[in-house]
A and B are shown apart, each in its own frame.
Chain A
Amino acid sequence: MGEAIERFFAALPARAPAVLRGPTSGLLQIDLTCGNRTEHWYVELAPGTVRVSQEQARPADAVFTVSSELFEELVTGREAGMAAVLRNEATFSGNVVLFLLFRRFFPDPPGTRDPRETARRHVGRSG
């Protein structure tokens, strides 16, 4: 398992208050496949909080299945979640809203600039 993935899950509880502002809650199961092994992560999403576990307490409301290789790209911002689903490299089932909510934890692609900076540079003004 890549270090980036471990770090990503470890940081979720601290990031939750800023990301999970709405009233949606539910249990999202993330299945990371690597060869013929599957690693399970359980993310309990609730307003302002996240609990991450590798033990299943109850049946999940949604399941997101992806290779650990691709997941690492997602959690480092190099790939986009919905595109991966559209090309069937990642799949989900269950309550789609949980997956869409979880997606908000994925960071910007590396090297992305604030578009305002880009625009102001474009017209030759400084921020």
Chain B
Amino acid sequence: MMKERVSILDGNTFLVSDRRGNIEPSFDFPTGLFSFDTRFISTWVLTLNGEKLHALSIDDSQSYRTRFFLVPGEPTHYLDAKVSLIRSRSIGGSFDEELTLLNHAEQEVEFSLRLDIGSDFADLFEIKHKRRKKGRTTPTVGQDELRLTYRREGFHREAVITTTAPAAIDESGMTFRIRIGPHGEWTTRLHTATFIYGARGEDIRATLPLGGHRSVAAIHAEQDELIARAPKLGCDCQPLAGAYRRSLNDLAALRYESIALGVRLLAAGLPWFMTLFGRDSIFTSLQVLPFLPELVPPTILMLAALQGSRLDDFRDEEPGKILHELRYGETAGFGEQPHSPYYGSADSTALFVILLDEYERWTGDGKLVRLLEHETRAALAWIDTYGDLLGTGYVWYLTRNPETGLQNQCWKDSWDSISYSDGRMPEFPRATCELQGYAYDAKLRGARLARTFWNDPAYADRLEREAAALKERFNRDFWIPEREYYALALDPDGQQVDALSSNIGHLLWSGIVDESRAAAVAQHLLGPRLFSGWGVRTLADDQARYNPIGYHVGTVWPFDNSIIAWGLWKYGFREEAGQICSAMLNASRFFQGRLPEAFAGYERNLTDYPVQYPTACSPQAWSAGTPLLLLRVMLGLEPQGEHLIIDPSVPDGMGRVELLDIPGRWGRVDALGRSRGPHDHERDD
């Protein structure tokens, strides 16, 4: 299905159409032109002499530009087409489309070209759950433009479509009556501007520090500049080179200027998550740190500035908590959804501390750590206060907004993600295992920050004592001795929720796993129940709720695998980490280097290729970040003091991997690794 759609994007403005370039109203998948969570165009259908067109080919090699080559009629009878149409479009501040009609006949021909245009101004959240709009849409016909206006109280959005060639414009589109000479052509340029009105009727984006809009040329220049700044990769492994390049491109494309915050942030994923997420932005930041550290501070600063300050049941907000999700649309504004911002995640707060520490270790930017001392202490305090809902020394979650809040407030946030082996689901509150790992890591990293930057050794000692006690407690309460893995969660009675899941891989990353148990955890991760051949499944295939195409209950998530590989490396399981790196990079070949949000958990030898999850987001920031983190794992890059440790362990068959100009507190250094498999010798010679 995904291949049926064509997307272009710039930041959080994006357009999704069918393969002919048409947009027809849809309520299952977000097709149309979107910006800041509002759909500005929901109908955009081209017909020639009353007939729809068919695509001969599509050029979509760039993230912000697509070209369609179209002929009239159905695929079966296009071959004798006497006319063809080139539809060339781009996104960058506005949506621009150039239509060129080519007459292949030897005589003059008259055509009627019609473009149906409409907008429902749906909020992204209204696409899954269709509702009657509370505001009013008014079309206004002008000389060479069609203006679509939506108003609900002070909320005011507008789409203005102009044409360079004369057209008969009505409230639902434009008709071009054209005469083209023999072998001649005709062209019009359609320009669609979107407006988000703020104070005094000005577009909010016009008053932003960065100006909001980027032209296509500016996008191109910015992407090139970002890629030029990133370390250069030289390698024998084509999938790795392709995935690296693609990732940098996608990360550049996903940057947008927040209308609420006025800074450049990374959108999480097209099409559903084109906004700021606490968890996603933190994991993506962790992945890209060794490559593009300058992308990280705006995210840290904004998460800190939006830190929870009060108790608010509707938004699941508590003092010290780091946000889950900020939306810009109508439903957030009018309180029909809680994302203004919503705080329903139990991991982002600890992850925030982890990111700040990791960021300083790479960059040496102690100034930011000092600047955010209060926010970081507040985050650490949250872990032991509001985070520990039951007062048992663990982080728990329970939404206070049962209507529109999230039930599961961990990265696996779908309703059925947390279950016992036999498929039953536990009561709330729930304490999933990885939350405890993050809390442990946050305390240790917080201790380093307190000792090094805040001049508070007593606080550092306390955090370290608490971390040690948490590790001991965790290894007692979560470990299932007879199965040799950690339970997915504890239920409110303190009983183990005993499913075997990928979450145990995150525990390795956090360092909360007892050394003596790490080998058993690694064996499970690479064992047949969890490892599909393409990666580690979210849930083991013998668990009752396992479903190879279940969002968090059997699919393989590239981001999840990148964190697991990092964890395996931390505990010295280089070969196992390499196995995950190889599997992911092999999978990426089937997606032209662009790892999707998730793919199916089928056995590799069953399908021979990774089957994309039906509604997976792509590009997705933390999937784009995955090849970067895998590179770090394979090259064994770890800051230590003022230096970068390079300790490569490149998987068999990958040959040479060379990363030049890795930025950090050491300036820039190069890393070189080479695989030592039996068949790599030939390559060496």
Contact = CB atoms under 8 A, between A and B. Distances in A.
Contacts of B310: 77, 104, 106-108
Given A80-B340, A83-B332, A88 B155 contact: yes
Interface stretch (A4-12, A34-42, A52-60, A109-117): A109-117
Given A89-B154, A93-B207, A116 B311 contact: no
A90 to B, nearest CB: 9
A115 B374 contact: no
Interface of B: 152-156, 197-199, 207, 260-262, 301, 305-306, 309-315, 318, 326-330, 332-335, 340-341, 371-375, 385-386, 388-391, 396, 398, 400, 427-429, 492-493
A96 to B, nearest CB: 5
A101 B154 contact: no
Contact of B305 (A84, A86, A100): A100
A122 B395 CA distance: 16
A118 B156 CA distance: 39
A21 B320 CA distance: 13
Contacts of B197: 88
B390 A125 contact: yes
Contacts of A127: 391
A2 interface: no
Nearest to B262: A96
B309 A118 contact: no
Question: Taking chain B's interface residues, is the majority helix, strand, or loop, or is none over half, making it mixed?
Answer: loop
Contacts of A23: 371
Contact of B328 (A86, A115, A116, A119): A86
Contacts of B371: 22-23
Contact of A86 (B156, B332, B492, B493): B332
23 contacts: A22-B371, A82-B341, A83-B335, A83-B340, A86-B340, A87-B154, A87-B334, A88-B333, A96-B260, A100-B306, A101-B305, A106-B310, A108-B310, A109-B314, A112-B311, A115-B318, A116-B388, A116-B389, A118-B400, A119-B398, A120-B390, A122-B429, A123-B427
B398 A115 contact: yes
B154 A88 contact: yes
Nearest to A112: B311
Given A23-B371, A87-B155, A88-B197, A108 B311 contact: yes
A91 interface: yes
Contact of B260 (A65, A82, A107, A115): A82
Interface string A66-108: 0000000000010010111111110101001100110110111
Contact of B333 (A65, A87, A91, A97): A87
B329 A112 contact: no
Given A108-B311, A123-B429, A115 B330 contact: no
B261 A116 contact: no
A49 to B, nearest CB: 15
Given A82-B326, A83-B334, A87-B154, 13 more contacts: A22-B373, A82-B260, A88-B156, A89-B153, A89-B154, A96-B262, A100-B306, A101-B305, A115-B389, A116-B386, A116-B389, A118-B398, A122-B398
Contacts of B315: 80
B261 A96 contact: yes
Contacts of A119: 389-390, 396, 398, 429
Given A86-B329, A87-B334, A119-B396, A112 B199 contact: no
A65 B199 contact: yes
Nearest to B492: A123
A9 B131 CA distance: 41
Contacts of B429: 119, 122-123
Contacts of B373: 22
A97 B312 contact: no
B334 A88 contact: no
B194 to A, nearest CB: 15
A67 to B, nearest CB: 10
Contact of A21 (B305, B311, B340, B374): B374
B372 A22 contact: yes
B383 to A, nearest CB: 13
Contacts of B318: 115
B305 A97 contact: yes
Contacts of A112: 311-313
B323 to A, nearest CB: 10
Nearest to A104: B309
Nearest to A81: B340
Contacts of A83: 332-335, 340
A85 B330 CA distance: 11
Please name the 5 residue pairs, one residue from A and one from B, whose CB atoms are nearest each other, closest first.
A87-B333, A86-B333, A21-B374, A91-B199, A119-B389
Given A22-B371, A103-B309, A115 B400 contact: yes
Contacts of A118: 398, 400
A80 B309 contact: no
A123 B207 contact: no
Contacts of A113: 311
Contact of B199 (A84, A86, A93, A107): A93
A86 B340 CA distance: 8
Contacts of B327: 86
Nearest to A109: B312
B311 A123 contact: no
A87 to B, nearest CB: 3
Nearest to B37: A86
Contacts of B199: 65, 88, 91, 93
Contacts of B335: 80, 83
A91 B198 contact: yes
Contacts of A108: 310-312
Contacts of B309: 19, 103-104, 106
Nearest to A82: B340
Nearest to B200: A91
B82 to A, nearest CB: 51
Nearest to B332: A86
A22 B262 CA distance: 20
Given A80-B312, A82-B340, A87-B330, A22 B390 contact: no
B330 A109 contact: no
A93 B204 CA distance: 9
Contacts of B391: 116, 120, 127
B311 A114 contact: yes
Contacts of B207: 93
A87 B199 CA distance: 11
A97 B261 CA distance: 8
Nearest to B207: A93
Contacts of B333: 83-89
Nearest to B427: A123
A115 B199 CA distance: 36
